[in-house]
Structure 1
Amino acid sequence: MSTVPPAAPAAPAAISVVGIGADGWDGLPARSRRVLGSAEVLIGGPRQLDLLPAAECPGERVAWPSPLRPAVPGLLAAHEGRSVAVLASGDPTFYGIGRTLAETVGAERLNVLPHPSSVSYACARLGWAGEAVETVSLVGRPLAGLSAALHDGRRLLVLSADGSTPAEVAGLLREKGFGGTRMRVLEQLGADRERTVEATAETWPQAGPVDPLNVIALDLVRSPGAPRLGAVPGLPDEAYEHDGQLTKRYVRAATLAALAPAPGELLWDIGGGSGSIGIEWMRTDRSCRAVAVEKDPVRAERIARNASALGVPALGVVTAAAPEGLAGLPAPDAIFIGGGLTAPGLLDACWAALPAGGRLVANTVTLESEALLARWYGEHGGELVRLAVAQAVPVGGFTGWRQAMPVTQWSVTKAGAGA
């Protein structure tokens, strides 16, 4: 007697993600129109849904709730088994809903139909090479994040949250010493109502309202005398608010070189002080992450202010002593210990938390901590170095050297599988 094997369960239906521009239905290619016209459920923002003609797209319309991201799994589950099309502005995978959907249901379930992004339109209007322009999104992100991208002579495109964003950007530029920057606000790109408003950051705001759908093009100009903050570690000490607990500029540069940040990696900055190591770790790449652990609440608040002022407001701050404050933190790729080395169990806890291939760097100026680092160096290897910096200072009518306290630094990569 033959038996028929049970049928394999049907694969979940694909979710179409359709990019749409400010030109609406008229600007969509035939394939996108067919997908939207046949969908049983249309999900999107109210503005995007209003761009679809009811006669051509009779499916049930569902507006995204706010906040959006936590609602995505439940909303998709509620319409499981029906053909679903999600609307997105421009290219869904460029600062759009495409990433959230891929992380929620898996990229294999998505049928993405992109439309030219606002960045593509802006570069076309300005004659800018897209690969040479950095884009910063302020949609659902703090304004302070723009600060890290400000460099003289650079071109930036800023994705606005709404019509108030250009004035906020102009204010930040003036505050950071970039008042001479040329600002062009490109509204309703691709639509019949497309318009460009131009001014400098110093002379903004313009008379009249700005359309909520806009992109800001910046030709950055640093004002004479404004602080120059480079793109590599070793910012001037004056860039930080501090009470003396600051890893000084040249030692900081050497410390970041030993930590060797790479895109996407997470740093634990223990004994954060003023937050300089974690801040400059994050400034090396927009995807780098850091958590500063600082037991002094006054210093912890100062770390947060420094992070915001220097363009990395996403730096996490844990107000607690280590090692107790390390409990529950996500696994690090690298650890820096700038204070509290002799706290019982600190080095042991850090070593246990560090995965194979992870890096640990510890700095100290005291003999007691130096002896501890020498012992760990003897057990685990790595590099043990002494960093000495001297600065030229007036000596009467002449010039001499003033020696800073030497810093002993131990750096090591944890061995093991994958190291």
Structure 2
Amino acid sequence: MAEAPWITIIGLTEDGPEGLAPASARALAEAEIIMGPKRHLGLLPEDGRQRIEWPVPFAEGIEVLAGLRGRQVAVLVSGDPFWYGAGRAISRAFAAEDWRAFPAPSAFSLAAARMAWPLEEVLCIGLHAAPLARLRRELSAGLRAIVLLRDGAAVADLATFVEAQGFGDSILTVCEALGGPRERVQRCDVATAQAGGFTAPVCVALEVAGEGAAIPRASGLPDEMFETDGVMTKRPVRALTLSALAPRAGEHLWDLGGGSGSIAVEWALAHPRCSASVVELREDRVALIRANAERFGVDRIGVHQGDTLAMLDSLPAPHAVFVGGGLSDALLDRLTVLPPGTRLVANGVTLEAEALLATAQERHGGELMRIDLAHAKPLGAKRAWAQAYPVAQWNVVL
């Protein structure tokens, strides 16, 4: 018979033990040791049992907890431990038979109840340990979001960020200490929120309004949304390239010869769990790639400066590969021995690159396509077609 769990994760609201369900209250009463952040420990009356304050950084607390094996330990957390909570880290660090969890209403649930917002229609996002820029991809007029923040000062930071994206007419309902005697709910405009004066624990029910630009969901974002030195995969070709790369949730991309990083950015925007490794030789373009990743709030992009061939062995294994620059026989030889199922897309503009791609397609199959684009431009008093350089694109599943 398996041993009973020795770790009990107990979700608290700001009501402290008074708000616990009967099963949670019994588990807390049976614990020999109580471990949690200072604020959570302060919600409990002193009863002589050993208390351990969870250290910062958080990972050090896992080591402390491991040293308590053989004792009955109650770990106090906020609300639901598996919704932006400590449950993930604890469950990964210990075997399933070592722990059990008793959730309480999350801050999302409490805030939705105060706002009368159906949770299934609301974006719930934890930014207490993530950059505010992660919200950028979601911002659009009419969005309702409940945002967890690290402290009271972050409310002003959120208001400033939203205003900077062109949504200065937004309303922020600041929810402090929900579910407890210190609960305070204030509806603010951006200017009032920027004035500060809020305290943790805090979340914001955000109603987005303004004339800011929402990020389109289709592939092929407008070129002007990116910072660039002129070297980038332009919008129509980028849309075709992303279609060929076919990003799926949780997949990793190699973007080789990153330029401005537009392919990697759009790949990462396709799903929050998509990630990318970008390799670029030039230092100035590495800075552009990082700036664009920050602009769009995609933080799952690793940027590497150096020679592409020299970098490949140090990168996480890809599900898809895009070659936008630095095409060579040696690079194609290296890429075509990647594991079966890897999707490979390579674009070339020069005759030499086109010849390489034609040879690769003959050897390895796939689709070879030539993309010819022309734009209408003035020609004296009239207009005429201005032909762009044709792009050869090879697309293959290895």
- Pick the TM interval, shorter chain: over 0.9
Match among 48, 64, 76 for residue 65 of structure 2: 76
Corresponding letter in the other structure for 2:37: G
Deviation at 1:314, TM superposition (A): 3.4
Decide whether aligned partners of structure 1 residues 32 and 167 sit closer, same or farther in structure 2, where only a CA change above 3 A counts: same
Describe the superposition over 1:38-83 as per-residue Cα deviations: whole angstroms up to 9, x where unpaired. 112222111111112222xx442222222112x2442232111111
Match among 315, 321, 324 for residue 329 of structure 1: 315
What stretches of structure 1 move > 6 A for 4+ residues in a row? none
Deviation at 1:108, TM superposition (A): 4.8
Asked if 1:399 is matched to 2:388, the reply is no
**Number of the residue aligned with 2:171:** 182
Deviation at 1:106, TM superposition (A): 3.8
Q: 1:3-402, aligned counterparts within 5 Å?
A: 11=3, 13-55=5-47, 58-69=48-59, 71-202=60-191, 204-206=193-195, 209-223=197-211, 226-342=212-328, 345-352=330-337, 354-402=338-386
Give the secondary structure class of the aligned counterpart of 2:83.
coil
Give the secondary structure class of the aligned counterpart of 1:253.
helix
Structure 2: gaps (5+ residues)? none
Deviation at 1:394, TM superposition (A): 2.2
Give the secondary structure class of the aligned counterpart of 2:255.
strand
Corresponding letter in the other structure for 1:188: A
Give the alignment's Cα RMSD to 1 decimal: 1.8
Structure 1: gaps (5+ residues)? 1-7, 415-419
Describe the superposition over 1:175-199 as per-residue Cα deviations: whole angstroms up to 9, x where unpaired. 1111111111111111122222222
Decide whether aligned partners of structure 1 residues 232 and 59 sit closer, same or farther in structure 2, where only a CA change above 3 A counts: farther
Corresponding letter in the other structure for 1:52: L
User: What CA distance in whole angstroms lies between the structure 2 residues aligned with 1:361 and 1:72?
Assistant: 45
User: What CA distance in whole angstroms lies between the structure 2 residues aligned with 1:140 and 1:238?
Assistant: 30
Decide whether aligned partners of structure 1 residues 388 and 203 sit closer, same or farther in structure 2, where only a CA change above 3 A counts: farther
Identity %: 43
User: What CA distance in whole angstroms lies between the structure 1 residues aligned with 2:4 and 2:386?
Assistant: 70
User: What CA distance in whole angstroms lies between the structure 2 residues aligned with 1:163 and 1:252?
Assistant: 41
Deviation at 1:258, TM superposition (A): 0.9
User: What CA distance in whole angstroms lies between the structure 2 residues aligned with 1:11 and 1:380?
Assistant: 56
Tell me, yes or no, if the aligned pair for 1:37 and 1:59 is still in contact at 8 Å.
no
Bigger shift: residues 158-167 or 385-394: 385-394
Tell me, yes or no, if the aligned pair for 2:159 and 2:193 is still in contact at 8 Å.
yes
Corresponding letter in the other structure for 1:133: V
User: What CA distance in whole angstroms lies between the structure 1 residues aligned with 2:284 and 2:300?
Assistant: 19
Deviation at 1:329, TM superposition (A): 1.5
Corresponding letter in the other structure for 1:360: L
User: What CA distance in whole angstroms lies between the structure 2 residues aligned with 1:142 and 1:90?
Assistant: 22
Tell me, yes or no, if the aligned pair for 1:13 and 1:81 is still in contact at 8 Å.
no
Decide whether aligned partners of structure 1 residues 144 and 412 sit closer, same or farther in structure 2, where only a CA change above 3 A counts: same
Tell me, yes or no, if the aligned pair for 1:332 and 1:355 is still in contact at 8 Å.
no
Bigger shift: residues 386-395 or 115-124: 386-395
User: What CA distance in whole angstroms lies between the structure 2 residues aligned with 1:133 and 1:86?
Assistant: 29
